[in-house]
Amino acid sequence: MARINFGKVTPPRSRKPLWIGVLFLTAFLFGTLTKAALPVDGTEANAQDYPYAFGMKLSSSDSDGGACTAFLVAPQLVLTAAHCLQTANSVETLANGTDLNGRNTSGTEVSVSRFHARPEFKTPYSGMSQEDLRLNASIDIGYITLKDPATITPIPVYVAPDRQGLNSLFGKVTTLVGYGADKFLGILADYSGRATFVKRLGTMKVTEVEPGYVHLEGEKGGALPGDSGGPELAEFDGVTKVFAINHGMQGKQTVTERVIKSGKHKGEIERVVNTDNSVYGTTIGTLLTTDNLCWAIQDSGQKIPGVVCPEVSAPEKPNDGQNQRRRR
């Protein structure tokens, strides 16, 4: 039997560990990270491409501000990552130009009505359990409603299949769009002020599928701080759709094996997972599950084309006999 050691002996498992300092680099908004970037060595987008992808400049009471990416899924509904909005006081800029620094003014800026992060998403902290890390990776969604309907065509949404159908995502060639940093400095580096606000593209492949989230790998194009909340796009039945939200990045992992020499597991093979935070490993995407999408629909009061939510049961009314007894 093989065992995996993430610092201690644990039961065998196929999934990679999600470490707090690795997975959630992009989650510390407005602090040491600026939620800024996308594709490592990505290419700049053309003005007419991906008009539904927006760059965001945000403000917070404890920071000068931060940056994220978002995308339009309905005329008045924009989706992004929960961790982008969780500590924000306001969205200062929400625009789809190729360069939000003023060098290229092409594009459309939209006015924000309100925004909300999914409340179950927890602010990351040192020592966060693996269970909570995985939960965060699967519910990292927030929304922004617009004051007026956008004149831009929304991106169609691919609703993630149930557990049995998740393997259909394996190997998907994925395009990432974001306005974040353009240079990888290391997983634990300080990316403050490094958001470029330039729309860039990256290409990766889905290499792991978990309930609620995916891992993507590729030689170039991985997300960086600031690309958080951006769309992860793939082709489904000949149509480009968004299937996940850019959640974060993880260092390069390797697995070594050794024989346990003592204790109750003596003689078993132990797999030790090592993470190199100086080397880019994977991008993690939060899947657009029915649960995530229906939370956004019900909380915002907006509709997303193609998304059908379970009906919320109304409280049962007393039957006629109960009503008659009450009238007596």
Q: How far is CA 199 from CA 43, 151, 226, 250, in A?
A: 9, 19, 11, 22
Identify the bridge partners of residue 91 per DSSP, sorted by sequence position: 58
Domains and CATH numbers, the chain: 2-327 (2.40.10.10)
Q: Is 164 helix (H, G, I), strand (E, B) or coil?
A: helix
- CA gap 129, 135 in Å, rounded: 10
The two three-digit tokens of residue 263, written as one number: 């204790």
Cβ neighbours of residue 211 closer than 8 Å, sequence gap 6 or more: 138, 163, 166
pLDDT number for residue 196: 84
How many contiguous H segments (helices) and E segments (strands) does the chain have? Answer: 5, 15
pTM across the whole model: 0.80
Phi, psi of 82 (to 5 degrees): -60, -40
pLDDT tens digits in sequence order for the chain, 328 residues long: 332 222 222 233 333 333 222 333 333 222 222 333 344 556 888 878 999 999 999 988 766 568 899 999 999 999 999 999 998 999 999 999 888 886 555 789 999 999 999 999 998 777 888 899 899 999 999 999 999 999 999 999 999 998 888 999 999 999 999 998 888 888 788 877 777 888 999 999 999 999 999 999 986 778 888 899 999 999 999 999 999 999 988 888 788 888 888 888 888 888 887 888 878 878 999 999 999 999 999 999 999 999 999 986 655 555 554 444 444 4
- C-alpha torsion angle, residues 43, 107, 194, 143 (rounded to 10): -110
